[in-house]
């Protein structure tokens, strides 16, 4: 991408500007809307710009956004307008990507369990497919053989598991010895079998790997790419001609949830790729990426009013509307997914005062519904606002229906040069009527 760089990444002053505007405009209201999500769309544009700039060079790189990170159609549409493709992992995400206007040839379909119907739809549309396992490869053989015109516009590749180990978050590590994803490269006979698979199928032209996400270092990710690149060169060498034309190197760049820094950053990751997988970005192969959390997380925050406060056993507790339904991973796995929290008064202005250790609790009816434990914050009072930071991905966009708590509205924000904040709807708040309709009422 060329031209001027978009607005820089958000910090405390910009978040406060957006939050105060949301209060003034009634998007946050203690009676009508005590909980809402916000995505700084200028920050999203800055992140996408940084991604494109980091990978500039002779290789043709398609950056797809992992829809699982934020599948709200207006968000996907904005990413499409910024030049991204879309990676999907099921029929729902595929429908959302198509609704957002992504061309099929800029969509990648990844999933460890695709039905025949889903595979046929992807092949009919020309959506790229990454085959997860030997049985799925045989299923595609059957589908293509049954077609009147067996050729498909789809790019078809095979996902491999390079089996190089996991990161610090087990649930996010997908290149362990026994991972459920992909064809295990180091298992006996699999490398030879993959070479034969490419020899026998002229439509098989890509390789895919994804080592994991949060908790996986850029070096570990790059080592997985290096193993995939090595397999591509082996296939081409043994077949005596170019068969692997492109590599899908996945996404997974971790996010620093402890500060406002955008570390490690795409440029730093590209340097690790150049070290571990030299030649990857030389133009020898086409390249696809699938970043998700790193594109959206730091552009978003979740705001909630404090409804009640209390003290129990000497511990201050603030009861808010932000809990497990919008911070599921943090509530169930707080050590792996801690969130920063900022305290604000009823206007949205930063709250000052001596820090007091206090629990910030959600509204769900179980004891573990806490987004922070013994967190030092200015003492919260009813009517104050808490903001859960770095929640632009996987939080309000992916709600959990515990206690039938209603899904909050999510708003996009842009800030003009004079400081004026403008909001656009990304998802309207769920109503009781919506809930009853969805649950058969």
| pLDDT tens-digit series, residues 251-287 | 999 999 999 998 899 999 999 999 999 999 999 999 9
Asked whether the predicted pLDDT for residue 355 surpasses 70, the reply is: yes
Percent of the chain residues topping a pLDDT of 90: 92
Q: Is residue 371 part of a domain?
A: yes
Q: Which of 249, 269, 291 is a domain's end point?
A: 291
Asked whether the predicted pLDDT for residue 377 surpasses 80, the reply is: yes
pLDDT-based confidence at residue 134 (cuts at 50, 70, 90) = very high
Higher pLDDT, 59 or 332: 332
Residues 286 and 391 occupy one common structural domain:
no
CATH number at residue 277: 3.20.20.10
pLDDT digits (tens, 9 = 90+) for 187-220: 999 999 999 999 999 999 999 999 999 989 999 9
Specify the number of domains making up the chain: 2
- For residues 125-152, give the mean pLDDT: 91
pLDDT-based confidence at residue 81 (cuts at 50, 70, 90) = very high
pLDDT of 7: 44
Residues 264 and 384 occupy one common structural domain:
no
Asked whether the predicted pLDDT for residue 60 surpasses 50, the reply is: yes
Residues 211 and 324 occupy one common structural domain:
no
Is the pTM for the entire model greater than 0.75? yes
pLDDT digits (tens, 9 = 90+) for 338-352: 999 999 999 999 999
Residues 271 and 310 occupy one common structural domain:
no
Residues 284 and 307 occupy one common structural domain:
no
CA–CA distance, 14 with 348 (Å, rounded to integer) = 12
Contacts of residue 67, Cβ cutoff 8 Å, sequence gap at least 6: 76, 86, 87, 88, 89, 93, 96, 97, 292
DSSP 405: P
Whether the Cβ atoms of residue 161 and residue 211 lie closer than 8 Å to each other: no
Percent of the chain residues topping a pLDDT of 70: 98
Q: Are strands 107-109 and 85-88 parallel, antiparallel or unpaired?
A: parallel
Q: What are the DSSP calls for 317-371, one per residue?
A: EEEES-STTT-HHHHH-TTTS---EEEE-TTSPBP-S-EEEEEEE-SSSSTT-EE
Residues 264 and 302 occupy one common structural domain:
no
CA distances from 145 to 115, 151, 206, 422 (A): 17, 9, 20, 53
CA distances from 137 to 143, 185, 201, 227, 235 (A): 10, 16, 10, 21, 17
Residues 117 and 260 occupy one common structural domain:
yes
pLDDT digits (tens, 9 = 90+) for 23-50: 999 999 999 999 999 999 999 999 999 9
Residues 251 and 302 occupy one common structural domain:
no
Whether the Cβ atoms of residue 325 and residue 318 lie closer than 8 Å to each other: no
- For residues 325-345, give the mean pLDDT: 97
Q: Is residue 357 part of a domain?
A: yes
Q: Is residue 406 part of a domain?
A: yes
pLDDT of 147: 80
pLDDT of 5: 46
- For residues 74-80, give the mean pLDDT: 98
CA–CA distance, 38 with 22 (Å, rounded to integer) = 9
Range of the domain at 272: 110-291
Q: Is residue 237 part of a domain?
A: yes
Q: Which of 260, 291, 322 is a domain's end point?
A: 291
Q: Which of 245, 274, 291 is a domain's end point?
A: 291
Q: Is residue 386 part of a domain?
A: yes
Q: Is residue 83 part of a domain?
A: no
CA–CA distance, 130 with 161 (Å, rounded to integer) = 12
Nearest to 332 by CA among 367, 303, 358, 369: 369
Residues 284 and 302 occupy one common structural domain:
no
Residues 287 and 303 occupy one common structural domain:
no
Residues 314 and 281 occupy one common structural domain:
no
Q: Is residue 70 part of a domain?
A: no
Asked whether the predicted pLDDT for residue 136 surpasses 50, the reply is: yes
Determine which helix (DSSP H) or strand (DSSP E) holds 168, and give its type and residue range.
none
Q: Is residue 48 part of a domain?
A: no
CATH number at residue 307: 2.40.37.10
Residues 401 and 265 occupy one common structural domain:
no
């Amino acid at each position: 991408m060329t031209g001027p760089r978009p607005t820089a990444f958000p910090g405390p002053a910009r978040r406060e500007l957006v939050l105060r505007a949301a209060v003034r405009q009634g998007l946050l209201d203690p009676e009508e809307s005590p909980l809402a999500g916000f995505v700084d769309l200028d920050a999203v544009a800055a992140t996408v710009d940084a991604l494109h700039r980091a990978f500039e060079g002779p290789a043709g790189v398609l950056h797809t956004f992992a829809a699982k990170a934020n599948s709200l159609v207006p968000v996907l549409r904005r990413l499409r307008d910024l030049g991204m493709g879309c990676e999907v992992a099921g029929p729902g995400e595929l429908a959302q990507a198509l609704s957002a206007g992504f061309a099929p040839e800029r969509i990648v379909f990844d999933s460890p369990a695709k039905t025949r119907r889903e595979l046929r739809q992807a092949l009919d549309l020309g959506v790229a497919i990454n085959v997860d396992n030997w049985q799925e490869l045989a299923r595609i053989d059957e589908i293509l053989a049954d077609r009147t015109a067996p050729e498909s516009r789809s790019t078809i590749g095979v996902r491999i598991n390079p089996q190089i180990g996991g990161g610090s978050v087990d649930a996010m590590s997908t290149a362990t010895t026994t991972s459920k994803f992909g064809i295990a490269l180091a298992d006996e006979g699999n490398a030879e079998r993959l070479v034969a698979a490419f020899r026998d199928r002229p439509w098989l032209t890509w390789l895919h790997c994804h080592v994991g996400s949060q908790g996986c270092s850029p070096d570990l990710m790059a080592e997985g790419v290096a193993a995939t690149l090595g397999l591509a060169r082996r296939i081409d060498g043994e077949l005596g001609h170019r068969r692997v034309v492109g590599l899908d190197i996945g996404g997974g760049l971790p996010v620093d949830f402890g500060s406002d820094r955008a570390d490690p950053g795409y440029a730093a990751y590209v340097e690790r790729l150049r070290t571990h997988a030299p030649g990857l970005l030389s133009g020898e192969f086409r390249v696809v990426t699938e970043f998700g959390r790193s594109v959206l997380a730091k552009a978003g925050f979740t705001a909630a009013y404090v409804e009640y406060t209390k003290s129990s056993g000497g511990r201050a507790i603030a009861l808010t509307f932000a809990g497990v339904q919008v911070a599921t991973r943090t509530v169930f796995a707080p050590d792996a997914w801690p969130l920063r929290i900022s305290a604000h008064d009823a206007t949205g202005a930063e709250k000052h005062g001596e820090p007091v250790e206090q629990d910030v609790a959600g509204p769900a009816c179980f004891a573990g519904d806490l987004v922070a434990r013994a967190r030092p914050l200015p003492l919260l009072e009813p009517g104050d606002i808490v903001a859960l930071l770095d929640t632009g991905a996987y939080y309000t966009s992916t709600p959990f229906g515990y206690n039938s708590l209603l899904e909050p509205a999510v708003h996009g924000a842009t800030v003009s040069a004079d400081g004026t904040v403008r909001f656009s709807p990304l998802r309207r708040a769920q109503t009781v009527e919506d809930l009853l309709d969805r649950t058969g009422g």
